[in-house]
């Protein structure tokens, strides 16, 4: 999974610089001066011992990059769990205008949409972006004739919508914490009708991104959402109570646990910026004191790309939060802030890994989280047997045997009834 021909930094840690003296020791990773950073010693009885001469921590890039390989080496590729890389970018407020920094407002036009299509086609040719499609969280009110003067976006989208996934963002973008049941139901059903009228593909009534991540504690909205068929909402992980207690799991809604909330990551590509100058201005108004100076556009891109890269390397399934101004063709040449950011993420990722990220629909995200939660609750125990088989036993239902190959590794999924054991042959 790792591109071993490319160097990566082991930094901000203590390192013991040495070279092995034992001929039975193989150096797996070394610095430019030949010092061994990772080495494996083989003993006559078949045992192997791997040593690292540098410190590790969960927040360090080199630790994240190497962790999967270390687990795979120690277990000979056989262990409980699975690993994928995910990249899901949800774009809020599609068809509406957003207030901008420092003033005014912006709504995408046909040329911005065309630029987004062109960029995505290009991104699909890259290793990271092979499966990538934007998730467009839309508000149907913005498509009504007369709502916006000289609206060339709506007619353009009608004939250029197939490349994207679509999610309801309510009809008018209200604050849902105070809405009644009837008002909430109207917001949901009218936006579903708008989706039908526009003929949006890859759309499911089971999903919604609520405006400003509101309404999650409002019993009136939650009841209306469930009655309308919604089963998945999103949270904002910048709020502590919106974070999952275990990686890649969802949060049962606090009012109705039959609705699963998918953790979603906010970031510093703000909702109200559409050009490099706007982003640099607002970013530095907030973070100048932290950095001790203003950062330029390239520095901000690099910093934020490093943050998003961390999510990818850890196999974090959570989608990312963005907004429609971030997809403005800011220079007439097809460049957008979000396109620039994801290109920078891909540059970093493709120096390390050689396999694409998954870009699932929101339904598929919800299913992935649900399956992980069932796995966590199953109490599964694996026993490696001497006859090259593995016995799996669970206490509760666990996610029929199916398999896939991803990033060069075989991943097998086994469903067991409570108390059941099954023995499978190692491949």
Q: Please write the tens of the pLDDT for every residue from 225-266.
A: 999 999 999 999 999 999 999 999 999 999 999 999 999 999
Please state, in angstroms and as integers, the Cα–Cα distance from residue 265 to each residue in 238, 247, 251, 316, following that order.
7, 13, 14, 10
pLDDT at 347 over 80: yes
Q: What is the pLDDT of residue 5?
A: 80
Q: Minimal CA–CA distance to 276: which of 215, 210, 340?
A: 340
pLDDT tens-digit series, residues 392-417: 887 766 555 577 777 777 788 877 77
pLDDT band of residue 131 (cuts 50, 70, 90) is: very high
- Rounded mean pLDDT, 88-112: 99
> What mean pLDDT comes out for the span 10-22?
88
pLDDT, average across residues 346-354: 96
Name the 3-class secondary structure at 381.
strand
Which residue reads 């160097």 in tokens? 7
* Residue pLDDT, tens place only, 46-83: 899 999 999 999 889 999 999 988 988 988 888 888 88
Q: How far is CA 223 from the centre of its chain?
A: 28
Higher pLDDT pick, 426 / 243: 243
pTM above 0.85, yes or no: yes
pLDDT at residue 152 above 90?
A: yes
Q: What is the mean pLDDT of residues 218-231?
A: 99
Answer whether 380's CB lies under 8 Å from 394's CB. yes
Is 276 within 8 Å of 337 (Cβ atoms)?
A: yes
Residue 53 C-beta-side C-alpha neighbours within 13 Å: 18
- For residue 2, what are the β-bridge partners? 353
Q: Could you give phi then psi for residue 82, rounded to 5 degrees?
A: -155, 160
- pLDDT of res. 393: 83
* Cβ atoms 139, 172 nearer than 8 A: yes
What is the residue extent of each domain of the chain? 1-77, 89-349, 379-425
What pLDDT shows up at residue 391? 82
Looking at the domain that runs over 89-349, which CATH code has it been given?
Answer: 3.20.20
More confident residue, 339 or 412: 339
Q: What is the percent of the chain with per-residue pLDDT over 90, rounded to a whole number? A: 76
User: How many percent of the chain have pLDDT more than 70?
Assistant: 98
């Amino acid at each position: 999974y790792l591109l071993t021909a490319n160097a990566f930094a082991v930094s901000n840690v203590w390192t013991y610089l040495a070279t092995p003296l034992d001929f039975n020791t193989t150096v797996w990773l070394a610095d430019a001066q030949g010092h061994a950073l990772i080495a494996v010693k083989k003993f006559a009885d078949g045992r192997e011992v791997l040593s690292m001469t540098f410190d590790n921590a969960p927040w360090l890039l080199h630790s994240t990059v190497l962790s999967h390989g270390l687990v795979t080496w120690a277990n000979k590729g056989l262990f409980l769990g699975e690993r994928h890389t995910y990249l899901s970018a949800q774009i809020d407020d599609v068809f509406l205008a957003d207030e901008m920094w420092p003033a005014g407002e912006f709504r995408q036009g046909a040329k911005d949409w065309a630029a987004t299509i062109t960029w995505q086609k290009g991104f699909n040719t890259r290793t990271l972006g092979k499966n990538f499609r934007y998730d467009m969280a839309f508000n149907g009110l913005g498509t009504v004739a007369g709502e916006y003067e000289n609206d060339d976006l709506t007619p353009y989208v009608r004939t250029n919508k197939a490349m994207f996934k679509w999610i309801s963002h309510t009809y008018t973008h209200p604050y849902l914490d105070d809405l009644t049941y009837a008002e909430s139901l109207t917001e949901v059903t009218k936006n579903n009708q708008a989706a039908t009228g526009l003929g949006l593909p890859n759309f499911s009534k089971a999903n919604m991104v609520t405006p400003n991540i509101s309404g999650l504690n409002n019993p009136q909205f939650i009841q209306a959402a469930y009655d309308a068929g919604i089963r998945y909402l999103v949270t904002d992980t910048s709020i502590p109570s919106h974070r999952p207690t275990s990686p890649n799991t969802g949060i049962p809604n606090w009012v109705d646990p039959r609705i699963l909330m998918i953790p979603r990551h906010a970031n510093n590509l703000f909702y109200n910026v559409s050009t490099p100058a706007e982003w640099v201005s607002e970013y530095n108004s907030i973070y100048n004191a932290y950095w001790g100076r203003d950062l330029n556009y390239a520095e901000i891109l690099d910093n934020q790309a490093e943050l998003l890269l961390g999510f990818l390397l850890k196999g974090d399934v959570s989608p990312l939060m963005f907004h429609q101004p971030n997809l403005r063709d800011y220079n007439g040449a097809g460049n957008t802030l979000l396109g620039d950011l994801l290109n920078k993420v891909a540059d970093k990722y493709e120096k390390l890994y050689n396999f694409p990220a998954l870009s699932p629909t929101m339904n598929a995200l919800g299913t992935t989280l649900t399956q992980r939660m069932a796995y966590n609750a199953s109490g599964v125990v694996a026993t490696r047997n001497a006859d090259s088989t593995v016995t799996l036993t669970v206490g509760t239902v666990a996610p029929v045997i199916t398999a896939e190959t991803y990033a060069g590794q075989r991943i097998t999924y086994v469903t067991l009834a409570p108390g059941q054991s099954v023995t499978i042959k190692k491949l």
